[in-house]
Amino acid sequence: MDIFAKCYADSLADEYRAMDLFPYFRELQSRQDVEVIMEGKRRIMLGSNNYLGLTVNPEIIEAGVKAMEEYGTGCSGSRLLNGTLVLHCRFEEELADFLGKEDVATFPAGFQANLGAISALVGQHDTAVCDRENHASIYDGCKLSYGKMVRFRHGDMGDLERRLKALPAETGAMVITDGVFSMGGDPARLPEICALAERYGARVMVDDAHGLGILGEGGRGTANHFGVEDKVDVITGTFSKSLASLGGFAAGDAKVVDYIRTSSRPYIFAASIPPASIAVATASLRYLRAHPELPRQLSDIAAYMRKKLLENDVKIMDGITPIIPIYTYEPVKTLKIQKELYERGVYVNATLPPACAPNECLLRCSLMATHTTALIDEAVDVIVDVLRKYEL
């Protein structure tokens, strides 16, 4: 059998393309901002993870330009060998201090940070205990490890305790969870997770890709928000959201981070983060520290949009983050609504299986601290009009 046969077989993507409903790979022709030019037309951007709006900040852009001028375009090697710049080391020190951890290891991408940390830490006789709604990078990190993975029902502490209690006493265990879940926008129940992990001798890892810059004092993340920084053993995350760059990190005790640096294949065998990207992440972190009002500003605009949607009887999940899911349930209906919103100048993300459960499709709206109430009013008017047409 030809290994490429599956590539030429009919697929769901082909079916959606035939219906002119395929919603992905839209071409952006402007900066990542609250308003963009996409495929030749102005759209209100409600589908970006640029939570603090820093991708267009002149101060941060300048930091990237200067780094490229001084250090060139790339590092041409791994961190282990020739690819460690003073920029990497400086950023790791500053991020560790910000998160209240001893050390940080940086990776070329947030996805890779989870691959690298989990595959290094979960060994042959260990078990990763995962929330069912964890990000795909966590699942893939577990697959890359030599250990086992068991899953507990999303946010169900009773099920988590049953899973932990069933593990053999000689098994090393790590509970792994998103800090803020990327589709629903709900924070993990970290105080209860940490208490259960302590009771059963497990460690805790939190992927805070959608919590850093959003929750906690000055944007220090989900563990800080719940006051359990000392109970969370490893924090991973990305620079591609609040820090307006590209890259990822794993933070924890110095010995744990050093073990990741010297044992993780996705770390050892990958080229290091380019100078401009690490400089932008550093400038963004410094800007966040100098402007602790940004997370509050983001929270306020998210609360404003939630209020406007609820006033118009739009069904959303209650929440405190800038991720606002609007439930549309059926895949084809979801794609039709997303397409009509797009044509009317509002960009939101259509979320379909496997990113959500069947018949739990949704439109994932995500806000930036730089959105204005006028833009939200304009977007909500369009959203409400389209949803009513589809009796939602």
Active site annotation includes 241: yes
Closest CA to 176 of 147, 211, 204: 204
pLDDT at residue 392 tops 90? no
DSSP annotation string for 305-326: HHHHHHHTT--B---SSSEEEE
For 58-290, CATH gives: 3.40.640.10
Name the pairing type of β-strands 41-45 and 346-347. parallel
Q: How confident is the model at residue 235 (pLDDT cuts 50, 70, 90)?
A: very high
Q: What kind of fold does domain 5-51+293-389 have according to CATH?
A: Aspartate Aminotransferase, domain 1 (3.90.1150)
The answer to whether 225 and 211 are in contact (CB under 8 A) is yes
Beta carbons of 348 and 384 less than 8 angstroms apart: no
Q: How confident is the model at residue 318 (pLDDT cuts 50, 70, 90)?
A: confident
Single out the residue of 226, 237, 220, 214 nearest to residue 189, CA to CA: 226
Instruction: Name the catalytic one among 225, 231, 241, 336.
Output: 241
Question: Residues 88, 135, 210, 225: which is the catalytic one?
Answer: 210
Q: What is the residue extent of each domain of the chain?
A: 5-51+293-389, 58-290
Confidence grade of residue 359 (pLDDT, cut at 50, 70, 90): confident
**pLDDT band at residue 357 under the 50/70/90 scheme:** confident
**110, 238 in Cβ contact below 8 A?**
yes
Element (H or E) spanning 16, and its range? helix 12-18
pLDDT of 355 higher than 90? no
Is residue 304 very low, low, confident or very high in pLDDT (cuts 50, 70, 90)? very high
Q: Which two tokens stand for residue 21?
A: 């409903």
- Residue pLDDT, tens place only, 51-100: 999 999 999 999 999 999 999 999 999 999 999 999 999 999 999 999 99
- Is the bond preceding 325 in cis, omega lying within 30 degrees of 0? no
Report the SS3 class of residue 35.
strand
Residue 356 has pLDDT above 90, yes or no: no
* Candidate list 48, 145, 182, 277, residue with the active-site label: 182
Is 210 assigned a catalytic role? yes
What is the overall mean pLDDT for the chain? Answer: 97
d(CA 133, CA 183): 9
Longest dimension (CA), the chain: 60
pLDDT given for residue 242 in this prediction: 98
